[in-house]
C-alpha cells in the first residue's frame, strides 16, 4: 500500500530498523541524556534556532496542549488566529488552560493577510500570547509565519506556532523570525514513528512559564518539569528511547539530504500543475502548501468512492475533516512520500479512478515532472 496521506507518513527502513535495537535502560544509562540533548540541538539547527528544544513523549496534539497548559493561565487574553481547522481548534485548548480566546477569524481559503492583522493589532494588542498554524493541513494553506511572528513580537505578544505539518517541508527560521514557541511532531514531514513531538521555546516564553501567578495544573504537560533535564541528568518520566533513537535516524537522513525543503517545494509545484492541467480544482486562493495538496471532490462522485477505488489500486490518500469532510481530496507529499515515483503512482491511480467514472477531461500525468512545470 502506498501511503499518500498527509501523515502519518511512510517510514524509511533504516528508521524502522532503529526501533529493533536494545537500548538498555534510558533512566540509568549515563549517555542517554547527552544523546537526547544532541538530538534536540540537531532539531533546533534544522529550524534555525539556538533556543531550547524539548522532545516530548506523545504525538503532535500533546505539543499543542503542553504549550497552552504551560503558558496560559486564568485571566490571560490570547489571540487565536483562525484561518483553518487547527487554528480554530486552539480555542478549546486556550479555554481549557483558563485563558480567554479572542478569535481572529479570517477566510479559510487564504493565508493571513499581514496588513489586515497589523491594522487589527493597532486597535487592540492587549494579548499575552497568540496561537497560529504554519500549515493548515486539512485545507493545505500555509501562513506567512515569517511576517506574522515578527509583527506579534513588535507588540510584545508571545507566538505559539503549530508547525506540525510544515517542519521539514517549509523553510523555518525561528530566531530570524522571532518565533517564541514552535511545535513539531515526528510523524509528518520527518517520517519517524508516531509518538513524539518537539517544542522550541524562546527565553521570553520561558520567562512567562516560570513566572506564573498560578501553578501549572499538570505534571506530564508542565514544560518547566523538563527544562533543566540536562543539568539535573533527569527526566520527569521514562523516555521512550526506541522512538527517540528512530527519530534521530530520521533527522540524520534529513541532515544528509540538505535539500529537503526545495524537494518539497518542487514536488508540490508539480502536483498543483498536474491538478490544474487535468481540469480538477485546487482548494484555496493562494498560500498553497509544500507538504499537502487539497483538491475539490469533482461533481458526480463522492470522496468515499474515490478513496475506496484508490485503495483497490493500493494507494491511500486523505480526505479532510470538519466542514471540509467529504468535500476535499488531500494528497500528502511529505517526507518519505515526497518523491517523483510515489507522486506519479498516486496521480496515476487518481487519474484511473476518475477516468473510469468519466470525470476527467485532462491528463493528470501529462508532463508531470516536465521542466516547464517544475
Ligand atoms: C497532524 C497535525 C497535528 C497533530 O495531530 P496528531 O494527533 O499528532 O496527528 C497538529 N497540527 C497540525 C496542523 C497537524 O497537521
Residue 171: which residues within 8 A CB-CB, separation 6 or more?
A: 261
Kindly report, residue by residue over 170-195, the tens digit of the pLDDT: 999 999 999 999 999 999 999 999 99
- Residue 167 DSSP one-character state: B
Strands 52-57, 196-201: pairing is: antiparallel
**Across all residues in the chain, what is the average pLDDT?**
96
Q: Which residue is it, cell 543539568?
A: 231
Kindly report, residue by residue over 91-147, the tens digit of the pLDDT: 999 999 999 999 999 999 999 999 999 999 999 999 999 999 999 999 999 999 999
Pocket-testing residue among 7, 63, 247, 294, ligand 1, by greatest number of atoms within 8 A of Cβ = 7
Establish whether residue 350 lines the binding site of ligand 1, counting it when its CB lies within 6 angstroms of any ligand atom. Answer: no
Taking residues 258-263, what's their average pLDDT?
95
Report residue 328 as a C-alpha cell: 476535499
Instruction: Tell me the percentage of the chain whose pLDDT exceeds 90.
Output: 93
Establish whether residue 65 lines the binding site of ligand 1, counting it when its CB lies within 6 angstroms of any ligand atom. Answer: no
Kindly report, residue by residue over 304-325, the tens digit of the pLDDT: 999 999 999 999 999 999 999 9
pTM of the model: 0.97
**Residue 372 banded pLDDT, cuts 50, 70, 90:** low
Atom 3 of ligand 1: nearest residue by CA position: 60
Cβ atoms 78, 130 nearer than 8 A: yes
Pocket-testing residue among 5, 9, 56, 61, ligand 1, by greatest number of atoms within 8 A of Cβ = 61
Pocket-testing residue among 164, 189, 324, ligand 1, by greatest number of atoms within 8 A of Cβ = 164
Report residue 360 as a C-alpha cell: 476527467
Establish whether residue 162 lines the binding site of ligand 1, counting it when its CB lies within 6 angstroms of any ligand atom. Answer: yes
Amino acid at each position: 500500500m502506498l501511503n499518500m496521506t498527509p501523515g502519518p507518513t511512510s517510514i524509511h527502513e533504516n528508521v524502522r530498523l532503529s526501533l529493533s535495537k536494545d537500548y538498555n535502560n534510558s533512566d540509568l544509562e549515563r549517555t542517554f541524556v547527552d544523546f537526547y540533548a544532541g538530538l534536540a540541538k540537531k532539531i533546533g539547527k534544522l529550524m534555525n534556532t539556538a533556543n531550547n528544544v524539548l522532545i516530548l513523549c506523545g504525538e503532535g496534539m500533546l505539543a499543542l496542549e503542553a504549550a497552552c497548559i504551560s503558558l496560559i493561565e486564568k485571566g490571560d487574553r490570547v489571540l487565536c488566529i483562525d484561518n483553518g481547522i487547527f487554528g480554530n481548534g486552539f480555542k478549546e485548548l486556550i479555554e481549557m488552560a483558563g485563558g480567554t480566546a479572542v478569535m481572529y477569524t479570517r477566510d479559510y481559503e487564504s493565508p493571513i493577510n499581514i496588513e489586515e492583522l497589523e491594522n487589527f493589532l493597532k486597535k487592540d494588542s492587549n494579548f499575552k500570547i497568540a496561537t497560529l498554524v504554519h500549515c493548515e493541513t486539512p485545507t493545505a494553506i500555509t501562513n506567512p509565519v515569517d511576517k506574522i511572528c515578527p509583527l506579534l513580537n513588535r507588540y510584545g505578544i508571545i507566538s505559539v506556532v503549530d508547525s506540525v505539518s510544515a517542519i521539514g517541508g517549509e523553510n523555518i527560521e525561528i530566531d530570524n523570525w522571532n518565533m517564541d514557541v514552535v511545535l513539531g511532531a515526528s510523524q509528518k514531514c520527518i517520517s519517524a514513528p508516531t509518538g513524539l513531538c518537539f517544542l522550541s521555546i524562546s527565553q521570553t516564553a520561558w520567562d512567562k512559564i516560570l513566572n506564573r501567578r498560578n501553578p501549572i495544573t499538570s505534571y506530564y504537560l508542565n514544560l518547566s518539569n523538563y527544562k533543566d533535564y540536562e543539568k539535573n541528568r533527569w527526566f520527569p518520566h521514562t523516555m521512550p528511547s526506541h522512538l527517540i533513537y528512530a527519530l534521530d535516524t530520521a533527522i540524520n537522513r534529513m541532515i544528509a539530504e540538505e535539500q529537503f525543503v526545495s524537494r518539497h517545494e518542487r514536488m508540490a509545484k508539480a502536483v498543483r500543475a498536474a491538478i490544474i492541467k487535468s481540469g480538477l480544482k485546487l482548494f484555496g486562493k493562494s498560500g498553497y502548501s509544500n507538504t499537502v495538496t487539497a483538491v475539490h471532490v469533482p461533481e458526480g462522485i463522492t470522496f468515499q468512492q474515490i478513496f475506496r477505488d484508490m485503495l483497490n489500486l493500493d494507494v491511500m490518500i486523505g480526505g479532510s475533516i470538519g466542514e471540509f469532510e467529504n468535500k476535499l481530496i488531500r494528497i500528502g507529499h511529505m517526507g518519505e512520500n515526497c518523491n517523483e515515483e510515489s507522486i506519479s503512482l498516486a496521480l496515476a491511480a487518481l487519474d484511473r479512478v476518475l477516468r473510469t467514472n468519466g470525470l476527467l477531461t485532462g491528463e493528470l500525468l501529462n508532463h508531470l515532472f516536465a521542466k516547464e512545470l517544475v
